[in-house]
Chain A
């Protein structure tokens, strides 16, 4: 079955340290890939997306993500986190054969920032 896995329920990082959040998908072909961020009690903000082309994607707020076909992964990175990055991060995919482009969501990773 098609699925999205975020293996880390929560991650704690010191302010100023680097960050990597993991996302893996299970699908025979390359899906369209997205990262969203959700601050407490807020809606979802699109950080970045990958459809094709360059496998390193730049997003907003200093985030980037790298698509690795061989590992079926789309990990999110930031070189230096700020306290304001504390939030829930969701990886999501759209499978191209789905004409409705329904987002399939990972379970989310909660990012905690240590001062």
Chain B
């Protein structure tokens, strides 16, 4: 199984709503990532979890709150978003980096988020 599953596929939310994006992988990967992708642009890294601990937070506003309940799951809690936060949110997973080993990140299909 080489899949990263994201739910929901599409989400429309108001600026006062609270919602969550979910990501699941069963590849035994111990690193999980959230990316944000605007149209016609490459992905931008938001957060990295390694062994269920937050290891990278790329200065993301606090209205985005990540959570890693266990090694297979990654959530992104959303609150008081702005219209400019509308984007494709991608989850990825990989083995943690290891010197001398190969590495590759596997992405989910993304959640298309629209903030109205």
Contacts and interface: CB of A to CB of B under 8 A. Distances in A.
Interface of A: 32, 34, 36, 41-46, 49, 51, 90, 92, 94, 99-103, 105-108
A108 B42 contact: yes
Contacts of B14: none
A43 B48 contact: no
A51 B45 contact: no
A99 B42 contact: no
Nearest to B97: A101
Nearest to B102: A51
Interface residues of B, number: 25
Given A51-B102, A100-B55, A45 B45 contact: no
A49 B104 contact: yes
A44 to B, nearest CB: 4
Contacts of B105: 46, 103
A1 to B, nearest CB: 16
Given A45-B107, A94-B103, A101-B97, 20 more contacts: A41-B88, A42-B110, A43-B4, A43-B90, A43-B107, A44-B90, A44-B107, A92-B42, A99-B97, A100-B55, A101-B94, A102-B45, A102-B56, A103-B43, A103-B105, A105-B42, A105-B43, A106-B42, A108-B41, A108-B42
Nearest to B55: A100
Contacts of A32: 103
A101 B103 contact: yes
A103 B45 contact: yes
A74 to B, nearest CB: 15
A51 B94 CA distance: 15
